[in-house]
Structure 1
Amino acid sequence: MAASTEQKLSLRALTALVIGSMIGSGIFALPGAFGRATGGVGAMIAWVIAGSGMLMLAFAFQNLAQRRPDLDAGIFAYARAGFGSYVGFVAAAGYWIGACFADTACLILIKATLGQFFPIFGDGTTPVAILGASLLVWAVHVLVLRGVKNAATLNAIATYAKIIPIGLFVIVIVAAFQADIFVGNLWGGEAPSVGAVASQVRATMLVTVFVFVGIEGASVYSRYAMRRKDVGVATVLGFLTVLCLLVLVTIASYGVMPQSDLAALPAPSMAGVMSHVVGPWGGVFVSVGLLISVLGNYLSWSLLAAEVVHAAAKDGVMPAVLSRENAAGAPAAALWLSNLVIQVFLLLSWFAEEGFTMALKMTGAMTLIPYLLVAAYAVRLGWTGETYADDPRSRRGDLVRAALATAYACLMLVAGGTKFLLLSALLYLPVTILFVLAMREQKKPVFTLAEWGLVAAVALGAVVGVYGLASGGIVI
């Protein structure tokens, strides 16, 4: 069903979706996360790599939105158009599971923040915290069922509201910046060397992926755009806005506290930095801002998770039942499935050593494969010349940018480590049943010969993952 006129989203709303999807729990954890991983030099290199790679990916999304306006919910539709139905399903499933992990991270951080004032919530994974988070899951579920437009409007309001505490934090730490502290933090407590810095940079990679996840928000909601060209513009505008904030929050923090102190800060570490600079009220202010921010971020991810499943079902790579909408136009069946998965992840977080960190890194790992497939499809269009008959001069530049985006996604997968690839396979394998059901509904052959090879590789990774969990080689 096409989106009604009332459900259409403007450039401003689409940009807010991108910013709202990207700015959430991650930015509030950056000072501590980077402090535990690297010094100032490694942090700057990490942001140059991540910023450049993600900018190329933003350009790929922008280019594909213009060249394939017929493809809605581009995060998986591009993969299907380029590489077949099962690969399209893999992109959809990976993005969807990543979105569910992102929502889980948001919920854990909300409760961990409350735990600083109410110890019963602990680190966000205590029984009371999980119960409270579960109630929030289903409260938002009811809200989204009332309509995507209403939820998107609330998300836009939350986006503007959360920029205020983050902006104030940046102003305060820039004003308090001390060059001698920053210089002392440059090398991460190690002797300056290429090897040491490279190791530090690698340790930040999945964190940087996590904070950029959401860059595709406008693309996922392309069917709701008032003007198709707004999708690409919103993606680039949202990315550049968020990149500036991420770099400022990270780098400036090295100028107000020693790295060892940054590394010791509990989540949300931004509150600890603010308290150090201006006193306890600063930590409370940032914590309130975090709650607003993460609630908005949770809403964004709830919308995105349901939307990608709904669109995949409409496109025939997931069972048709998941394409059902309610009277308000909300993807009701997809929303039910997504929130049930989030509920399961919340329960599993009770058993994780560091529930928030695990959810954060799994979000990055699961979304990297869909990103890689989007970039690879942009490479294919540039290489073959498809869609470039009327604009041949743009082809070379688009191809170079898409190739760089593809290389970046591959680099991040390698830097993230084997553990998260194996855990990803462990999740991909069981959800493949959704693809099997969809193909049987349509009375189509389930897998081609090449797709059987891909399924076998996923199954092998899942088996190795299970063995790693059972033997203690992989710890969650």
Structure 2
Amino acid sequence: MTGKKIGVGALTALVLSSMLGAGVFSLPQNMAAVSGSEALVIGWSITGIGILFLATAMLYLSRLRPDLDGGIFTYAEDGFGKTIGFLSAWGYWLCAVIANVSYLVVVFSALSFFTDSPGHVVFGDGNTWQSMLGASILLWIIHALITRGVQTAASINLLATLGKLVPLVLFIVVGIMHFDYRQFSFDFSGSQLHLPVWSQVKQTMLITLWVFIGVEGAVVVSGRAKNKNDIGKATLFAVISALIVYLLVTILSLGIIPRETLATMKNPSMGGLLVAMIGPYGYWIIVGGIILSVSGAYLSWTIMAAEIPFIAAKRGAFPKVIARQNQADAPIGSLWMTNISVQLCLIAIAFFHLDYSTLLIIASEMVLVPYLLVGLFLAKISYQMRSYRPLLIGIGATLYGIWLLYASGLEHLMMSLTLYAPGLLVFLYAGWQHRQHYQLRTVDKVIIFAIIFSGVAISLSKL
């Protein structure tokens, strides 16, 4: 055990890097495809307020319950029982795995600009066998790096985060110079989409949530922080910084070229926009930024993906083998489980040719319940303590979580149950392993039965 801890700078970089991943470079096209300027502004306003409630909730929880390392999982378990805690950990872990796969897909999709031509596809949309091979090599390089210790990986991530900000700042500066308000305000309500503004707003929700997934980064690795007070500071600073970047990127984009043109752009669409503004070298700059961005975000997400099952295994919710550490203090059992899962997903991507948008929807859906439980837990303990300011924050974060579930739609929510169902087999096996201090209550059994039954029913209905 090295005993090395993560400082406030590395914690901030971990949160910022996990949010500013590959998604920001595809954000102009993703948003233009589903909303006009009016819905975009409303969508970001709702998300900005909601995500600040969520970040502030995590700040309060890190101070009110500094004994709960791991955040997302331990808040759910301590507040609502072992079964709910496991579901939160499993959903979050799956989100992290799928997020990592999506990062690898988008980086090789970007590289296809240099390798592909009509009739000659090498990397395609990041879902060819060549892409899978390249992504697999990158996957195991990162794996080897993290086995040297989480603190070492976090320090390298700090450098990657600073590097990725360069192309983003360049895009924003050039975008301000080329911004045309008449272009931005043309068809302000998005009437060409033939959807009411409110429906457009709902469709932006999973996209805006997707680019903020990672807000919990400092909370997840709280057990490795030098100072628990740094957790809340790192989270809020990173969220505000990311929100400013996202607002500028999307608003400026709609003021550069027509929305319908932007909506059909190949991702990463930020590259096409920069080419339109400064010429062919623009795409080179964005691809370089994506490589740095994905490297940093992938590193951050692998750390977080390995940390949650590791903490859950130490508390009896995952099998004992997942709690193993190596001499560098890295969660080696959880790391192997995570990266083998990513490798299997990459193989499936190559066979079924899933694209980035599909992965975005699945990953965003899996994190909705864990985020809702954060707000509910703060509201619960604040009410018990009669502490009313944190209670208001908890209620605000809870309402945002409920809104996200509504906006995502019943179909997507039910789809996520099929992914929760197999995880419960892992949970039951872990319960058997830790049976000397682990018992399921009746309500736990009802929850398990309901999710497994729903998952099986949904799967059979799609056959």
Question: TM-score of the superposition, structure 2-length normalised?
Answer: 0.96
The secondary structure found in structure 2 opposite 1:350 is helix
Distance 1:132 1:335 in 2: 20
The secondary structure found in structure 1 opposite 2:328 is coil
Unaligned 5+ segments in structure 1 are 386-391, 471-476
Give the equivalent residue in structure 2 for 1:187.
Answer: 189
Give the equivalent residue in structure 2 for 1:270.
Answer: 270
Give the equivalent residue in structure 2 for 1:405.
Answer: 397
1:88 to 85, 88, 96: 85
Distance 1:447 1:209 in 2: 33
Describe the superposition over 1:46-88 as per-residue Cα deviations: whole angstroms up to 9, x where unpaired: 0001111110000110000000010000111000000001111
| Distance change >3 Å, CA 352–CA 48, structure 1 → 2 | farther
> After alignment, is 98-107 or 353-362 more displaced?
353-362
Give the equivalent residue in structure 2 for 1:140.
Answer: 142
Q: Within 5 Å, which residues of 2 pair with 1:331-342?
A: 331-342=331-342
Distance 1:101 1:467 in 2: 23
Q: Within 5 Å, which residues of 2 pair with 1:75-114?
A: 75-114=72-111
2:388 to 377, 381, 396: 396
Is structure 2 residue 373 aligned with structure 1 residue 373?
Answer: yes
Distance 1:185 1:302 in 2: 42
Distance 2:66 2:310 in 1: 18
Distance 2:415 2:133 in 1: 26
> After alignment, is 428-437 or 226-235 more displaced?
428-437
Describe the superposition over 1:304-350 as per-residue Cα deviations: whole angstroms up to 9, x where unpaired: 10011111111111111111101111111100000111112222223
1:360 Cα deviation after fit: 1.1
Distance 1:361 1:292 in 2: 24
The secondary structure found in structure 2 opposite 1:452 is helix
One-letter amino acid matched to 1:121: F
1:189 Cα deviation after fit: 3.5
The secondary structure found in structure 2 opposite 1:116 is helix
1:396 Cα deviation after fit: 1.4
Distance 1:352 1:167 in 2: 36
Distance 2:433 2:80 in 1: 21
Give the equivalent residue in structure 2 for 1:128.
Answer: 130
One-letter amino acid matched to 1:413: L
1:116 Cα deviation after fit: 1.2
Is structure 2 residue 428 aligned with structure 1 residue 436?
Answer: yes
Distance 2:445 2:317 in 1: 16
Give the equivalent residue in structure 1 for 2:18.
Answer: 21
1:185 Cα deviation after fit: 4.4
Residues 58, 215 of structure 1: 8 Å contact kept: yes
1:459 to 452, 457, 460: 452
Residues 158, 292 of structure 1: 8 Å contact kept: yes
Give the equivalent residue in structure 2 for 1:291.
Answer: 291
Describe the superposition over 1:375-411 as per-residue Cα deviations: whole angstroms up to 9, x where unpaired: 11001012222xxxxxx6xx21211111111111111
Distance 1:161 1:150 in 2: 17
One-letter amino acid matched to 1:117: F
Residues 352, 358 of structure 1: 8 Å contact kept: no
Distance 2:135 2:410 in 1: 30
One-letter amino acid matched to 2:125: D
One-letter amino acid matched to 1:404: G
1:467 Cα deviation after fit: 2.7
Is structure 2 residue 176 aligned with structure 1 residue 174?
Answer: yes
One-letter amino acid matched to 2:258: P
Describe the superposition over 1:214-248 as per-residue Cα deviations: whole angstroms up to 9, x where unpaired: 00000011111111111111111111010100111
The secondary structure found in structure 2 opposite 1:117 is helix
One-letter amino acid matched to 1:56: F
The secondary structure found in structure 2 opposite 1:38 is coil
The secondary structure found in structure 2 opposite 1:318 is coil
Distance 1:11 1:425 in 2: 37
One-letter amino acid matched to 1:189: S
1:191 Cα deviation after fit: 8.9
Question: TM-score of the superposition, structure 1-length normalised?
Answer: 0.93
One-letter amino acid matched to 1:420: H
| Distance change >3 Å, CA 301–CA 176, structure 1 → 2 | same
Give the equivalent residue in structure 2 for 1:8.
Answer: 5
1:446 Cα deviation after fit: 4.9
Describe the superposition over 1:334-371 as per-residue Cα deviations: whole angstroms up to 9, x where unpaired: 00000111112222223556421111111111111111
Give the equivalent residue in structure 2 for 1:200.
Answer: 200
Unaligned 5+ segments in structure 2 are 117-121
1:190 Cα deviation after fit: 3.8
Distance 1:341 1:353 in 2: 17
1:196 Cα deviation after fit: 0.8
One-letter amino acid matched to 2:203: A
Residues 90, 428 of structure 1: 8 Å contact kept: yes
Distance 1:261 1:354 in 2: 24
Residues 383, 399 of structure 1: 8 Å contact kept: yes
Report the count of equivalent residues: 457
Percent identity over paired residues:
37
Give the equivalent residue in structure 1 for 2:223.
Answer: 223
Give the equivalent residue in structure 2 for 1:161.
Answer: 163
Residues 20, 293 of structure 2: 8 Å contact kept: yes
